[in-house]
Structure 1
Amino acid sequence: MDDTEPVQPSLNSNYVPTTPGNHHVSEDEESDDQSPSSSLLPKHSSVPLAVRYSPEDSYCFVYIIFFLMGIGSLLPWNFFITAKHYWLYKLSNNTHGSGNKEHRSDLSDYFESYLAIASTIPSVLCLILNYVLVNRLSSNVRILSSLFVILVVFVVTTVLVKVDVSDSRTEFFIGTLASVAVVSGASNLFSGSVFGISGHFPMRISQALISGQAMGGTLSAVASILDLALAKDVADSALAYFLTADVFILLCIMTYLLLPKLAYSRHYMLAATGDGGAAAGTGSRVSVPPLQPILKKTWVLGLSVFYVFFISIMVFPAVSSGIQSVNKASGSPWTTTYFVPLTSFLLYNVADFCGRQATAWLQVPGPTSRVLPVLVVCRSVMVPLLMFCNFQPRDHLHTVLFAHDVYPVVFNCLLGLTNGYLGTLPMIYGPKVVPRELAEATGVVMSFFLTLGLAVGSAFSVLIVHCI
C-alpha cells in the first residue's frame, strides 16, 4: 500500500451508509494520519463519514479489477512495441517466403521510431480532450467506448497476421501507424477515466491501478517470449500473441461491467455520484481549474517528469531493441531469437516495475529537493551508452565501444529502474504540494507533462536512429 499519495475524497459529506453496522473503518484512512507527509494533508476529522466507513472488499475482487484495469491501460502500447520480430517480418522483403529470415528495408529500419510518434502525439491531444470531457461525459461512456475501440483495432490487427502484404507493405505500414494512433488515443481516455474513478476509492485501489500499469509491460514481454518459444514461425507467434491481447481486452470489459455489482465499489461510486450531482448543481464541475497556481507549485516536478520520459522513449524501444548480440553469428537461439526480447523488453519492464514499487517504501529525494532534478538530468548519459552498444545496422556511427552482451543488460536495467523511480516520485509529489481542491487537476497536468515528454522524445528517437 502506498501511503505517499494524498487522500482524494470527493464524496458528499451528507451521504450516510444505509447499514452502518456492516461497515468498518478502512485501513487506508486509518493509516493516512501516519503518513510522513501528513502535514501536507487535511486532518482525519475532515474526511467525510462515507469515506471512513465502507463495506469489505470481499476476496479483494475490486482490488483485482483495478489491477486488471491498470494492466489494460498500457497493454495496447506494450503489445505493439514488443512484437518486434513480427513487424520486421511483415515489413521486410521476405514475406513471400516461408522462412523466418528478416531482410532489411527502410520501413522496418525506422518502424519503431515512427511507432513511438504515432502513439504519443495522439495521446497528448486526447489528454487535453479528456480534461475537457471529464465533467461533461460519464466515466462509463468514456471507459467502455475506449475499450471497444481498442478491441476492434486489435481484432483487425490479429486478422492481418495471416494476410500477405508483400505487395502493399507501404499501405500496411501506414495502416499500422494509424491503428497505433487510434489505440493510443483510446487508451489515454481509458486510463485517465479509470484514474478518475479510483480517486473516489481508498488509496489501496489507486495502488492497485499503479501496480497494474507497471506489470503490463512485463506481462507483454513474457507473452512475447513464450510465443517465440512455442510457435513454429513468426506468423504463428504473432497470431497467438495478438489473440492473447484480444482475450485480455475482453476480460477488462467484462470485469468493468461487474464493478457496479460489488457492494464495496457500489458504496463509493454511489457516494461519488451523489457528490457529483450536488457539485453540478452549483456549476463547479463545469469550471476549468486555474493553471497558474498549479504550475507555480509544480513546474519543477512537471519538467522532471517530462525529462525522465523524454530520455526513456528516446532510446526505448527504438535503440535498445536494435542492439544485437555480439555473438549472433554463432546461430544459437539465445543470440538470434531471445536476446532482444529478454535484454531489451523483459529486463527494462521488470526494472521499471521494481523502480515504481520502490516508491511505496522510499521517497528520497523530497518534493522540494534540488537533488531530484539533478538526478533526472543525469539520466541523459543513458542515450550515448546505448547508442555505442552493438546497435545494428550502423550506417554512420560505426564505432562500437561496448562490444559485450553484458553492457546492454546493465544499461537496460538502469534505464528501466531510473525511469520507474524518478518518473513516479514527481507524479506522487505533484498533487501534494498544491491546495486540496486543485489536487485532481494537478494530476491531469502532471500526466500532460509525462505524455508530452513521450511525444517529444519519440520524435528525437527517429533522429538518433538516423544518426546511428
Structure 2
Amino acid sequence: MMDDGNCQFTFCASERDALLGDVDHFNDSANGYINNDAVQGETKVGRSPSDIGPADKPPKDRYFFVYIVFYTFGMCSVLPWNMFITAQNYFDYKFANHDSNTSTSNVTFLDMTAAPIPQTPAPQTKTELQDMYESYFSIAAQVPNVVIQLVNVGIKHKVTLKVRMLTSLTGMLVIFIFTTVLTRVDTNDWEKQFFWITLASVVVINCFSAIFQGSVFGLGGLLPKKYTQALMAGQGLGGIVPALVSIICLATLKNYSLVGFVYFLISVICIIITYAAYLVLPRNQFAEYYLNKQASPRTGMIDVSASFSSSFEEKKTPKPPFLKILSQIWVAGLGVFLTFAVTLGNFPGVISQIESMHQSEWTDMYFTPIFCFLLFNALDYLGRSLSFIQLPSQNHMGVVSLLVILRLGFFPLFALCNVSPESRDSDVVFTHDAYPIVFMFFFALSNGYLGSLCMMYGPKFVKPEHQETAGNMMAFFLVLGLATGSAISVLVIYVL
C-alpha cells in the first residue's frame, strides 16, 4: 500500500512474494531463522516499484567479479598479521647485536643498488629484543584486534560503511609504507627505539585491520554463503603468499634488510589493489542488488524507497537487537572461537619450535619455513576452498560442534613431537618427522574447513536486516579465538 503522508512504498510478505517470485524462506527454530540463500526480496537500486515484474530476478555475478573482490578482501584482512610473523629472519637481524661503526648518523638509508650488506653472524645467545619481539608482537596484534572488533560491532550502525572501509584501508596503507621505508634504514644505533616504533605500528595497523575485517564480514553476511567462503579462502591465500615469499627470499637473498623490504612492499601493493576493488564494488549490479536492502526492524516489511535513497556505503541503520542476534548465532560463534583458539594455541608458537629428527644444513634452514608455515597455509587454504561442499550442513550444527571439539586433541599430539629438544623437560614420543607432518595435514585442513563452515552459517540464522551485524559478531568470535589461542600457546611452551 501507499502512505500519502510519507510517500513511501511498503510491501508485506505476501505482496513481496507475488512481485519478486524468489524470496528467502525462513523456518522458525531454536536458533532463529534458516536462510536458503535464495533471493532476499529487495529491488535494484535506481529502479522504481513500477518497474518490478513477477519474473524479476537478481543479476548474475558476471565473471565472478564480486566473488574475486571478496577474495581480495579476505587476503588483505590477514596481511598485517601474516607479514609480521613471517618476517622472522628480518626482525632477528634488526634486533641482533651489530657493530655501529658503519653508521654515520642516527638515521642512515641503505643503498638498495649496492652489493648485499654483510650480515652480522648470529650470536650464540639471542639478544633481549630477539627474545621479546615474538610475544610482544602477538600481544600488540591480538589485543587491539579484539577490542576494536568489539567496538566495531557496537558502532557499526552509527558509522557508514564508506567511512569504515576507506579509513581502515588508508590507515593500513600508510603504516605499511612507513614500515617498508624503515626496512631500508640502518637502525643499528637505535634498536630499542626501532623496536618500540615497530610495536606501535603493529598496534595501529591491527586496529585498522580489525575495522576492515569486521566490515567485510558484515558485507559477506548479506550475500549468499559462498561470498563468506570467498573471504575465508582469501584469508587462506593471504597466509600462503608470505610463506612462499619467505622461502624464495631465503633461497635467493642474503640481505635480510632487503628481505624485509620485499615482504612489506608486497603488502603495500596488495592493499592498493584492495582499495581499487572496493571503489569499484558499489558500481556492480550484483553487489547493488544484495547490499542495497533495508527492512523495517519492527515489522519485517521491505521498505523499497529506502533502497533508492542511497548506496549501501552511505546508509545508517537502526540499532540492532544485539542480544537477540547473539542468541541465534552463538553455536556457530563458539565453533569459530574454539576452532581458531586451538589453531593459534599450536600455530605458530608450538609448531614452529618442532625440529627435524635428522639435522642437516638443509633442515636447519628450510624445515620450519616449509613444514610449519607453507604446509599449514597451503592445507588451510585447501580446507577453506573446499568449504563450498557444506557438509555437515547448516541444519547439523551438533555434528559441526563435535568435530570442532575433537580438534582439542592436537594439543597433546604436537606437544609430544620434537618441540624445542634442547630445553624441553618431557620426553619426545613421536620420534619421526612423518608424525608432525601427518598431524599438520588434518590440523590445517580442519581449521580451514570447519572455521569457514561456521563463518558461513552464522549470519544465515538471523533475519536479513540483521545479517550484517551477525557477520560483524562472527568476525569478533574469530579474532577472540585468535587472541585466546595466542595466550594458550605461551602456556603450552612454558609447560614443555
TM-score with structure 2 setting the length:
0.77
1:331 to 361, 371, 391: 361
Whole-angstrom distance in 2 between the partners of 1:260 and 1:142: 15
Cα 1:317–1:46 change in 2 (3 A) is: closer
1:132 to 147, 154, 158: 154
Cα 1:397–1:95 change in 2 (3 A) is: farther
1:418-429 pair list within 5 angstroms: 418-429=446-457
List per-residue Cα deviations over 1:251-275 (Å, max 9, x = no partner).
2222322334445545656667943
Structure 1 position 178, deviation (Å): 2.2
Task: Give the paired residue count.
Answer: 437
Letter of the structure 2 residue corresponding to residue 120 of structure 1 = Q
Task: Judge conservation of contact 1:55–1:267 (CA < 8 Å) in 2.
Answer: yes
Task: Judge conservation of contact 1:110–1:462 (CA < 8 Å) in 2.
Answer: no
Q: Which residue of 2 aligns with 1:412?
A: 440
Does residue 1:315 correspond to 2:346, yes or no? Answer: yes
Q: CA RMSD in A?
A: 3.6
Whole-angstrom distance in 1 between the partners of 2:158 and 2:180: 34
2:35 to 31, 34, 41: 41
List per-residue Cα deviations over 1:147-189 (Å, max 9, x = no partner).
1111121122212223333444333333323222211111111
List per-residue Cα deviations over 1:374-430 (Å, max 9, x = no partner).
332322222232233333374343533333332332232222112112222322332
Cα 1:388–1:112 change in 2 (3 A) is: farther
Cα 1:205–1:376 change in 2 (3 A) is: closer
Whole-angstrom distance in 2 between the partners of 1:94 and 1:119: 27
Q: Which residue of 2 aligns with 1:21?
A: none
Q: Give the secondary-structure state (helix, strand or coil) at the position aligned to 1:324.
A: coil
Whole-angstrom distance in 2 between the partners of 1:43 and 1:464: 42
Does residue 1:359 correspond to 2:379, yes or no? Answer: no
Whole-angstrom distance in 1 between the partners of 2:414 and 2:283: 49
1:73 to 74, 77, 86: 77
Structure 1 position 338, deviation (Å): 2.0
Structure 1 position 348, deviation (Å): 0.8
Q: Which residue of 2 aligns with 1:215?
A: 237
Letter of the structure 2 residue corresponding to residue 300 of structure 1 = V
List per-residue Cα deviations over 1:281-320 (Å, max 9, x = no partner).
xx992324231x3343443333232222111111211122
1:270-289 pair list within 5 angstroms: 274-275=306-307, 285-289=317-321
Letter of the structure 1 residue corresponding to residue 252 of structure 2 = L
Q: Which residue of 2 aligns with 1:87?
A: 91
Structure 1 position 222, deviation (Å): 1.5
List per-residue Cα deviations over 1:324-353 (Å, max 9, x = no partner).
33333x223xx1322211111111111111
Q: Which residue of 2 aligns with 1:3?
A: none
Whole-angstrom distance in 2 between the partners of 1:310 and 1:249: 27
Letter of the structure 1 residue corresponding to residue 322 of structure 2 = P
Structure 1 position 63, deviation (Å): 3.1
Q: Give the secondary-structure state (helix, strand or coil) at the position aligned to 1:360.
A: helix
Structure 1 position 122, deviation (Å): 0.8
Task: Judge conservation of contact 2:157–2:316 (CA < 8 Å) in 1.
Answer: no
Q: Which runs of 5+ in 2 are unaligned?
A: 1-7, 12-19, 46-55, 101-116, 295-304
Whole-angstrom distance in 2 between the partners of 1:184 and 1:100: 31
Structure 1 position 250, deviation (Å): 1.6
2:270 to 226, 232, 248: 248
Whole-angstrom distance in 2 between the partners of 1:408 and 1:42: 39
Q: Which residue of 2 aligns with 1:456?
A: 484
Q: Which runs of 5+ in 1 are unaligned?
A: 1-11, 16-24
The structure richer in helix per residue is 1
Structure 1 position 137, deviation (Å): 1.9
Structure 1 position 443, deviation (Å): 2.7
Whole-angstrom distance in 2 between the partners of 1:208 and 1:149: 24
List per-residue Cα deviations over 1:85-113 (Å, max 9, x = no partner).
22222223358693364332343335333
Q: Which moved more, 1:335-344 or 1:438-447?
A: 438-447
Task: Give the share of equivalent positions with the same residue, in percent.
Answer: 38
Cα 1:301–1:56 change in 2 (3 A) is: closer
List per-residue Cα deviations over 1:115-173 (Å, max 9, x = no partner).
22221111111112212332222212211111111112112221222333344433333
Task: Judge conservation of contact 1:13–1:49 (CA < 8 Å) in 2.
Answer: no
1:296 to 313, 317, 327: 327
Does residue 1:141 correspond to 2:163, yes or no? Answer: yes
Letter of the structure 1 residue corresponding to residue 339 of structure 2 = V
Q: Give the secondary-structure state (helix, strand or coil) at the position aligned to 2:388.
A: coil
Does residue 1:257 correspond to 2:279, yes or no? Answer: yes
Q: Give the secondary-structure state (helix, strand or coil) at the position aligned to 1:50.
A: coil
* Structure index of larger Rg: 2
